[in-house]
Structure 1
Amino acid sequence: MNAWRTLILVASLSGSMLSMTGTAADNPPITDVAFSPDGRFLVCVGQMGIVSRRWPDLETVAEIQVPLDNLHCVAFSPNGDHLAVGGGNPADFGAVVTLRWSDGLLEETFVHQYRQFDDSVVDVQWTSNHSWLAASIDRTVRHVDLNQSDVTVMHGHSRAVTAVEAFAQSQWILSGGDDQRLRLWDSTDFRTVRTLKQHTGPIVDIAAARSNDGLPVVATASEDRTVRLWQPTIGRLIRFCRLPQPPLKIAWSPDSQTILAACRDGNVRWIDVASVQVVHTRQAIDGWAYALAVHPSESSFVVAGSGGQIQPLPLNHPN
């Protein structure tokens, strides 16, 4: 496991925070969350395994374990039939496990398991109902087609790859990592189109705007305490916002007018896209806010992190 992720894990496990959902203070951190496409459930992952919770009361519906010491990421397939979770055993192997999802329940029999990474998987995203992308600390991005057992390994980053995003109907792929670089890949041949180098710290997250009439716009978050906006297909940095604390996870509002940034101090910061200014800050949890997900149909979102805390919040903020 790379150094900054080790630091995150140690810091979160050593804290003494009370969970917003009433769990014990010494619970392991929640490292990622995802809403089911119909918005009725929230899935949380971490060292505790996979936990399905009903929305909005967050009551536990199902819990299962997978044979990985650490889970770092989770994503639903576009049609909501499957769930992909990524993780691994640090400095040993990484894996993505695919499970069947139905009405809040997960079948413990794996639909697919890919374990050929040389280190932990830290981000996963579906590109269709039968294929996904994954970023790994082993410096690779991999594209796996479940139907064809076809795997493409994408090399180019010199250090751990920590985030990957497909956008524009999965025509383009953007990856980022500890080498402070963004790499734009063409999904037709999985070759690097260009490299973007303006970040001055490790990149921790990438999120594409939900709606855009012109060139695709993508936001990136970095340990350099910035959230940057890009038009990556033409290699353009549009503007950036510097935050008081490093962001760990970002997400766009449905209208693409606001970016939410969950930060190391447990605060969520609302960034106005037009002005690139922080327009509101709210304490969400005690400790590190690793995970953030916007509800697919309601004006709300969830922040989760240290001590197993989960905090629902309204998307709209006070003026």
Structure 2
Amino acid sequence: MASYLENMQNYFKNNGKTREFAAHSSKVHSVDWNSDGRKLASGSYDKTVNVFHLDRDRLSKDVTFRGHGDSVDQLCWHPKHPDQLVTASGDKTIRLWDARTNKSVATVNTKGENINICWSPDGNTIAVGNKDDLITFIDAKTHRSRVDQQYNFEVNEISWNNDGDMFFLTSGQGSIHILSYPELKTLHVLNAHPANCICIEFDPKGKYFATGSADALVSLWDISELVCVRMISRLDWPVRTMSFSHDGQMLASASEDLIIDISVVETGQKIAEVPCESPTFTVSWNPKKPLLAFACDDKNDRDRDRDAGTVKLFGLPGDH
């Protein structure tokens, strides 16, 4: 019986094509699939948000959302509602959008230039972080701030665990801060990396979380034990973005390396690597199938405009 590694290596031999789709006029900062895997959203330096629908092996643009006054730096879909989207911008606002009505549902003013955002697993709360390391928790229904948390260290990325009873921060000191939720009391501080801890992701099965660091390492952690179970060290540059596959068995990691590394979660072995023309700062696996969306920087020495504003899909059938 073939192993998962062999099965997926064979799968990507036949379905390892990457196709790109025009999305924005400048760099794409964030991509994310909605909960049913039928829509992909992208946010850009050009201040807009695009929503695409997936039609077999291609993306077709549904709508362009306009309204932000600055770069859209991060976005995420509601964990259960396939048409509700929230975006964070440097214009000191977050915006909620409805893909059915094609318009902004609400604009929430915040206290700084926003760089990261996430939705609680129950969909009731949105957390947004700004450049001044202030985290604001916002009621998703009333759009009012519930509480602000100011930190005296660099906060890079934020996330709830899958159960929604803990809140995680990655820090510029290389540590992971784990808080109780909703009390926001510090439970643990994990010394994860010797360098800046940049990103954090939770697997859909609730068994692991992964962190990426400026030391070019990905560390995989057992959630129940809070111990690091393995390291993935194939990248040479700071790990900027990661995503777990729908079955929780693959992890995609990307950086300024000109590849995206795809590994088996349980062993760390390499399944595939996706060649890129320039650094990759956002990746997202589809929640239903082995299809990876990503976007690259729009600047490289060989062809400056090649990746400007494009969204890419890996895992499409090759030409036979």
TM-score by length of 2: 0.80
Correspondence 1:208 to 2:202: yes
Q: 1:315 to 1:236 in 2, by over 3 A?
A: farther
Q: Which of 110, 124, 128 is residue 122 of structure 2 equivalent to?
A: 128
**RMSD (Å), alpha carbons:** 2.5
Contact 1:122 1:137 in 2 (8 A): no
Counterpart secondary structure, 1:246: coil
TM-aligned CA distance change 1:128 to 1:117, over 3 Å:
farther
> Relative to structure 1, is the Cα distance of residues 38 and 97 closer, same or farther in structure 2, using a 3 angstrom cutoff?
same
What pairs with 1:267-282 in structure 2 (closer than 5 Å)?
267-282=259-274
8 A contact 2:123–2:140 mirrored in 1? no
What is aligned with 1:9? none
Whether 1:245 aligns to 2:226 is no
Counterpart of 2:280 in 1: which secondary structure? coil
Q: CA separation in 2, counterparts of 1:287 and 1:33? A: 16
> 1:192: how far off?
1.4
Question: In the TM superposition, what is the alpha-carbon distance from 1:233 to its structure 2 partner?
Answer: 5.6
Structure 1 equivalent of residue 293 of structure 2: 302
Q: Distance in 2 between matches of 1:268 and 1:153?
A: 35
Instruction: Quote the offset at 1:208 in angstroms.
Output: 0.6
| Structure 1: gaps (5+ residues) | 1-18
Secondary structure at the aligned position of 2:20 is classed as: coil
CA contact (8 A) 1:162 1:204 kept: yes
Report the residue type matching 2:236 in the other structure.
Answer: P
Aligned to 1:197: 191
Counterpart CA distance in 2 for 1:162 and 1:151 is 21
TM-score for the superposition, normalised by structure 1: 0.80
Give the SS at the match of 2:141.
coil
Identity across the alignment (%): 14
Structure 2: runs of 5 or more not aligned: 1-18, 298-307
What is the rounded CA distance, in whole Å, between the counterparts of 2:90 and 2:22 in structure 1? 28
Distance between the aligned counterparts of 1:193 and 1:145, measured in 2?
24
The reply on whether 1:137 has 2:131 as its aligned counterpart is: yes
Residue 157 of structure 1 and its aligned partner are, at CA, apart by 4.8
Q: Does 1:69 align with 2:61?
A: no
Contact 1:121-1:136 at 8 Å conserved across structures: yes
Q: Secondary structure at the match of 2:89?
A: strand
User: What one-letter code is carried by the residue in structure 2 that aligns with 1:30?
Assistant: V
The equivalent residue for 2:11 is: none
Name segments (4+ residues, structure 1) moved above 6 Å.
none
Pairing partner for 2:30 from 5, 29, 32: 32
Kindly indicate whether structure 1 or structure 2 has the higher relative contact order, using CA contacts under 8 Å at least 6 residues apart. Answer: 2
C-alpha displacement at 1:263, in angstroms? 2.3
1:50 and 2:49 correspond = yes
